[in-house]
């Protein structure tokens, strides 16, 4: 059974720092991995999608890497800003022959960037 965990659970950093959020999954058989941002009580905003054949994806100050064989992904945020404060979730889509494509979400990292 696929399990997804994220470390750390919470993180507080001063503005301007570069930071790394970690996501681990137990089964390397995945189609893709997606990183989301969620503000308190709000919906999920997609940040980056990495296909299983890709190693990394970049969007602005965000860079996500994927090492499928070791079951790890990292989200790198450069020059953090207070507006980056949110919960960051990673989600994997397991490979399956049954034609189901649900996401399994990680436990999330709650980020606070201090001004």
Partner 1 sequence: AAGVIQSPRHLIKEKRETATLKCYPIPRHDTVYWYQQGPGQDPQFLISFYEKMQSDKGSIPDRFSAQQFSDYHSELNMSSLELGDSALYFCASSLVDLAGGPRYEQYFGPGTRLTVT
**DSSP alpha helix (H) spans, 1-115:** none
Q: Does 22 bind partner 1 (CB under 8 A)?
A: no
Q: Which CB sits closer to partner 1, 42 or 79?
A: 42
Q: Does 73 bind partner 1 (CB under 8 A)?
A: no
Buried b (16+ CB within 10 A) or exposed e, 88-105: bbbbbbbeeeeeeeebbe
Q: Which CB sits closer to partner 1, 77 or 89?
A: 89
Tell which one of 23, 33, 34, 111 touches partner 1 (CB under 8 A): 34
49: left (phi over 0), alpha (psi -120 to 50) or beta: beta
CB of 38 to partner 1, least distance (A): 9
Q: Does 103 bind partner 1 (CB under 8 A)?
A: yes
Q: Does 98 bind partner 1 (CB under 8 A)?
A: yes
């Amino acid at each position: 059974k696929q399990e997804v965990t994220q470390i750390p659970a919470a993180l507080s950093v001063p503005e301007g720092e570069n930071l790394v959020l970690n996501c681990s999954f137990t089964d390397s058989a995945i189609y893709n991995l997606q990183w989301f941002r969620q503000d308190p009580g709000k919906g999920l905003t997609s940040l980056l999608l990495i296909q299983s054949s890709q190693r990394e994806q970049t969007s602005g100050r965000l860079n996500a890497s994927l090492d499928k064989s070791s079951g790890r992904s990292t989200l790198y945020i450069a020059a953090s800003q207070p507006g980056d404060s949110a919960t960051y979730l990673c989600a994997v889509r397991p490979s399956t022959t049954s034609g189901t494509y649900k996401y399994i979400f990680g436990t999330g990292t709650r980020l606070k960037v201090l001004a």
